[in-house]
Amino acid sequence: MLISSAYIHVPFCRHRCGYCDFTLVAGRDDLIERYLAALEAELATNRIPVAPLTTLFFGGGTPTHPSAIQLRRMFEIVKRIVPCAVDAEISVEANPLDLTEEKIAVLVEHSVNRISLGVQSFDDNALQLLERDHRGRDIEAAFRRLQPRIPNISLDLIFGVPGQTLDSWRDTLRHAIHLGPTHISTYGLTWETGTAFFTRQSRGELQAVDDGLERDQYALAMEELLDAGYEHYEISNFAQPGFPCRHNLVYWHGDEYLAFGPGAARYVEGRRETNARSVIGWLERIERGQSPVVETEELAPAHRARERIYLGLRMVDGVCLDEFERRTGWKLIDFAAAAIEKTISAGWIEQTPTHLRMTSSGRFLADRVVAEFL
């Protein structure tokens, strides 16, 4: 079976925000030319059969950070080696301050038709605490420049920010809705080990919001976005009808995909491969003619089946019973009988004639619910 989805990791940023644990380098624009040469080499040595891509996702880091000339070269390299289907979804993560007219023109020139804009909040106090380099007024200006050229725009928002009230979160949601993006993602702030925020929390300089407030903020997001006509199709994601992220659906459906760049992880024929997370390490491995892959995991059939449950339950529709049996060989009700009985009894999961899915109350405990199936 040919693979038709690919992810490209672009690891450059102006600076690293305190909550971020992604693979990236800040203030190292001197590495961009080496990165482009290494990316071309990694793509050229791929031996996994690829169909014309139906989804191509550039994530980061900040893919729009390189110069317009470098962006153009990146798109030319990728699309020359892994061509896209005519109707492919081509997504790019972007920072509001990067979206100059010149860079937007490059995106349009290379058929980018979906932008994921990392705005996080419209509240300047929250943006300052999150160490973002833009302010609320910059978001709207970037959105207005972008929308006439690439109308399929997603906004990423963060709740659970220290100092963020239910009212200020409501204001951010309503400001986002007012702009009319096709897609909105809402994520609770996480405190990842090794980040500056984690260190500041351990020193008592920052404090996570109360669990009850964070739950209320998530509930408010569901209420406001559903009232505005968005469809809640995945735990953190809402889309106008017809505009879910096709690339992310590949992940959540447990389908295969390729991935290139530092820290990138691909999933092919039940095998997960992960590239070196260090940008310098990834560069040096490729420049020496070595494989960038540093971790390989062969998933046993039962492990793959459990992952399909874990990923499928993130979807609001849940796991299709017939599809699970077709793709794994097991009946879901038999394969996970104990976990299903426990989570249904707790009110976290419900079974329909065709699907197993989380209840609305189960979504508030999503990590705990899916852990029952692992």
Backbone angles phi, psi at 298, to 5 degrees: -90, 120
Shared domain for 11 and 115, answered yes or no, is yes
- Per-residue pLDDT, averaged over 162-181, amounts to 97
- Per-residue pLDDT, averaged over 126-145, amounts to 95
pLDDT band at 374 (very low <50, low <70, confident <90, very high): confident
Per-residue pLDDT tens for 305-358?
999 999 999 999 999 999 999 999 999 999 999 999 999 999 999 999 999 999
Per-residue pLDDT tens for 241-253?
999 999 999 999 9
Shared domain for 57 and 116, answered yes or no, is yes
Classify 356 as helix, strand or coil: strand
Among residues 173, 171, 109, 179, the alpha carbon closest in space to that of 147 is found at 179
Shared domain for 210 and 116, answered yes or no, is yes
- In a domain, residue 43? The reply is yes
CA 358 to chain centre: 21
Residue finishing a domain among 227, 252, 277: 252
Round to whole Å and give the CA distance between 39 and 221. Answer: 38
pLDDT of residue 181: 98
Task: Give the helix, strand, coil percentages of the chain, each rounded to 5.
Answer: 40, 25, 35
pLDDT of 227 over the 90 cut: yes
For 335, the domain range is 302-371
Q: Please, what is the average pLDDT of the chain?
A: 96
- CATH number, domain of 113, equals 3.80.30.20
- In a domain, residue 283? The reply is no
Contacts of 121 (CB under 8 A, 6+ apart): 127, 130, 132, 136, 157, 158, 161, 164, 172
What's the number of domains the chain is made of?
2
Shared domain for 248 and 363, answered yes or no, is no
pLDDT of residue 246: 98
- CATH number, domain of 327, equals 1.10.10.920
Per-residue pLDDT tens for 174-198?
999 999 999 999 999 999 999 999 9
List the structure tokens of 220: 């408010």
Residue finishing a domain among 225, 252, 279: 252
- In a domain, residue 192? The reply is yes
pLDDT of residue 2: 87
Per-residue pLDDT tens for 110-120?
999 999 999 99
pLDDT band at 203 (very low <50, low <70, confident <90, very high): very high
pLDDT of 147 over the 80 cut: yes
Per-residue pLDDT tens for 273-286?
999 999 999 999 99
- In a domain, residue 258? The reply is no
Shared domain for 313 and 183, answered yes or no, is no
Complete edge-to-edge strand list for the sheet that includes strand 237-239: 231-234, 237-239, 183-188, 153-159, 114-120, 84-94, 50-60, 3-10, 258-260
pLDDT of residue 89: 98
Per-residue pLDDT tens for 11-51?
999 989 999 999 999 999 999 999 999 999 999 999 998 99
pLDDT of residue 180: 97
Shared domain for 241 and 308, answered yes or no, is no
pLDDT of 134 over the 90 cut: yes
